[in-house]
Amino acid sequence: MFEHFCVLLLRLYPAAFRRAYGDDAVQLLRDRARHERGAFRRVRLLMDLAIDLGALSLHGWRQEQRSLAAPDGTPRFDIIQVDAPHPAALAVGMLASVLMFAAFPLLFQPKALAHASASVGKLLQSEKPASPAQPAQPAAATLDPEARRKLLAAIAANIEERYVDRALGKRLADLILAHEQHGDYDRLDTAAALAAFINADINSASRTLGIPRGTFVANVMYSTRPLPEVWPPPMTEEARARQRAVMRDLNCLFEKVETLPRHVGYIKLNGMADAAICSDTTARVMASLNDSAALIVDVRDNPGGFGDTPLQLAGYLFDRPTFMYSPRPGSEIPTRTASPVSGNKLTDKPVYLLTSAGTQSAAEYFVYNLKMLKRVTVVGETTGGRQHSGTFHRIDEHVGVGIQEVAADNPYPVKGWELIGIEPDVRVTSAEALETAQKLIEKTASAPSPPGSGPTPRLHARGPFRR
């Protein structure tokens, strides 16, 4: 509807302009309308159109065709109009120049780059077979119209047949096929571009159909490498043994475990390892911080992994088995924590989670549940919004689709974190998150107790944790 309104607005432009640029202008409007979603962006698009229309109406428009050469063949240099600029334009230009040169010494200063952990990168590198030279990634294959039509039909059929709500699945499939019939995908000549556009259409239609925000629906995936027949691909004993060795070398992705001033335990965890390999390491880490007065868990650089490690970590924060929502019903991972943990003293201690846009997938499962249970304070940035909980189906060698096939029982008001991420309780930049959490702990520790609540426990300083 919005696209049609923009096209109707274009009909008010001068006739000569429409004859010269009508088709290109319509396509540009459709592209912008499809990509610039949301009230603010669409109001901005309408304002741009209105300003252009006003300028053309006031000044008129005609298409000038100037030759780059004089009649005798010599080059000419009078293409640009030589009318004197308006005094107001001169004043604005002078002011902008003065401000730019004044700000230049302040803006052109080198900034220190934040140290980025490379643990997960090392893991990925170590799992690649050694070879003298890695082959280059193959270029994305071009889709001809018939191949695009067959691919769209296969994706739509999978969504219609497999989505948990069959009626909504059919409406989503019909939407994809309607876009194809209207030619909305005709300009997309690669599977990667087609997948991105279909995902945007599915996400937009999901809100229109009343599917709650944060709920995973479906996601089309393109891979330059051949996709496996099943996902995840089966792991051989040799690969499992190699993974164990890698995890040992990387301390199961626990980059840092230490005690900060004021007896605050700090864990920097850069991935969620397989608990079948790393449960003992996780238990030792939590036991080492058992006497902490407060706990900070840093998952700013955690792209996810397995769900059983976050479940194990959460078990130390409750004194009874506690429900942990999983968007993957039927998973082998239990739905409740193994609480209480024998000898554990962290069940009543304040916990702060540090997040960023790099906090994704299984790390978001950890953050989401603890926030919904009001057990932690989340400090930092909105997480990445990578739930992707559907069942994977291979369409062809390079394209697959994940579809939510089974409904997950979720008692919380926010039904997931797909695309929207998890909002922090205290919003600061990722770089400021640790310092902010420490200040919050200090402020809480020094606050007076409410009447009748008894003495406030003090946070005593202690030296750094030694392994």
Give pLDDT tens digits for 292-332.
999 999 999 999 999 999 999 999 999 999 999 999 888 88
Give the residue from 271, 425, 278, 281 showing the smallest Cα distance to 363.
271
- The pairing of strands 264-269 and 391-394 is unpaired
**pLDDT value, residue 386:** 93
Number of other CB atoms surrounding residue 383 within 10 Å: 28
CATH architecture of 251-385+421-446: Alpha-Beta Complex (3.90)
What's the CA gap between 299 and 257, in Å, rounded?
A: 13
Q: Is the dihedral of CA 79, 85, 86, 89 positive or negative?
A: positive
Q: CA–CA distance from 197 to each of 92, 194, 204, 206, 357 (Å)?
A: 41, 5, 11, 14, 22
Q: Where are the alpha helices (DSSP H) in 108-260?
A: 119-127, 145-162, 166-181, 191-208, 237-249
Q: Low-confidence residues of the chain, pLDDT below 70?
A: 1-7, 9-11, 15-24, 29, 31, 34-37, 53, 55-141, 447-467
pTM for the full model?
0.67
**pLDDT value, residue 44:** 76
**pLDDT value, residue 463:** 33
**pLDDT value, residue 229:** 80
**pLDDT value, residue 115:** 38
**pLDDT value, residue 41:** 73
Tokens coding 31? 């592209």
Q: CA–CA distance from 93 to each of 82, 84, 105 (Å)?
A: 18, 14, 20
- Please state the domain extents for the chain: 2-58, 143-249+390-408, 251-385+421-446
Q: Where are the alpha helices (DSSP H) in 316-446?
A: 362-372, 433-446
**pLDDT value, residue 4:** 67
**pLDDT value, residue 28:** 72
